[in-house]
Amino acid sequence: MRRLFLLISIMFFAAPAHAEWWEARTDHFIIYSKSPAKDAKEFAERLERYDQSLRALQLIKPDPRLSDSRRVKIWRAGNIVNISELAGDAESGIAGFYIPRLEPVAFVPAREQLQTRTELDPETVLKHEYAHHFMFRHFPGTYPSWYVEGIAELYSTIDFQPDGSFLLGKVPQARGEVVVGKYRNALNYSIRRMLLSGSKPTFEDFYARYTYGWLFTDYTAFEPSRKGQILTYLRLIDEGVDPTKAATQAFGDLDQLERDVARFRNAGKFPVRAVRFANYRAPVAAMRSSAPTRKRSCR
């Protein structure tokens, strides 16, 4: 913890005197951004729209006004290299990270320097991590790790539209390239293995939580013949049913399931659904000039 605190102090509080910091407040976020005011405001409002979108999908009413301690704090400055250094490894390419705690906090760059479409962009990373925060806040329970990552990947590509609606189901490029793109043969994996594996996870298992986890979550979300099966499976897992029994009871013949998912994958036509709000109101971030202080870092 001491090392992380020192890194934060160096990165965020040893800034030049002319550095431009803005504080943007919405219903669920407080963002401290070293960027132009317009950029910070638009970033904050997109995040609030993301919270609205998750609520629309899960039929959750708006929160009563949250205290500052319950809003997610986001520090936004520098580039991906700076964030990687803050995370402890300058060579890692980490595009952002989230620290779950009583007062959750996240760190993302204000400047992006992506070279390829397979790189994770910072805002997608933040959406992924906030999906975890949202899920465990509103739906605490026991979930298989592949579902935790798969649903976060599915939601991380929510695409906002000018009329207030959003699109759900776009392929996450950083993961999708491994499943359906030019790197599709790089990972030899199966849905059965993902569902039933109870041994210590290998690197393949870990990576499949994100890639095949997304593929299977997307398939069960959009395939009409599988409607409701994933909820049955998750309920059984939460009740402590053996994974093999839970998978068989929920999905039926697992060999047939494997073939069906393979056809879905090979077709390469992933459905995208437009979701509209009945009474949409665009969020508005409250802005003020803000120079971070050491005192604020300790709260």
**Is position 50 within any domain?**
yes
Quick: pLDDT tens for 254-278. 999 999 999 999 998 899 999 998 8
Is residue 160 within 8 Å of 175, Cβ to Cβ? no
Reply yes or no on whether the pLDDT at 150 is more than 60: yes
**What pLDDT does residue 292 have?**
52
Contacts of 281 (CB under 8 A, 6+ apart): none
**What pLDDT does residue 119 have?**
61
Whole-angstrom Cα distance, residue 193 to residue 261? 13
Q: Which of 36-40, 41-45, 91-95, 134-138 has the lowest mean pLDDT?
A: 91-95
Expressed as residue numbers, the domain containing 96 is: 1-13+20-125+284-299
Element (H, E) at 216: helix 203-222
**Is position 151 within any domain?**
no
**Is position 107 within any domain?**
yes
Q: CA-CA-CA-CA torsion for 292, 293, 297, 299, nearest 10 degrees?
A: -110
Reply yes or no on whether the pLDDT at 39 is more than 90: yes
Q: What does the buried/exposed string (b/e) look like for 223-235 if buried means 16 or more CB atoms within 10 Å of the residue's CB?
A: eeebeebbeebbe
**Is position 51 within any domain?**
yes
**Is position 8 within any domain?**
yes
**What pLDDT does residue 48 have?**
96
pTM: 0.85
User: How many domains is the chain built from?
Assistant: 1
Question: Measured on CA atoms in the order 44, 49, 51, 52, is the torsion positive or negative?
Answer: positive
Confidence band of 291 (pLDDT split at 50, 70, 90): low
**What pLDDT does residue 181 have?**
73
Mean pLDDT of the chain: 85
Specify the CATH number for the domain of residue 9.
3.40.30
Of the candidates 202, 190, 179, the residue with the CA atom closest to the CA atom of residue 255: 190
**What pLDDT does residue 12 have?**
47
Read off the tokens for 88. 């402890």
Reply yes or no on whether the pLDDT at 158 is more than 80: yes
Quick: pLDDT tens for 179-209. 877 777 778 899 999 999 877 888 889 989 9
**Is position 77 within any domain?**
yes
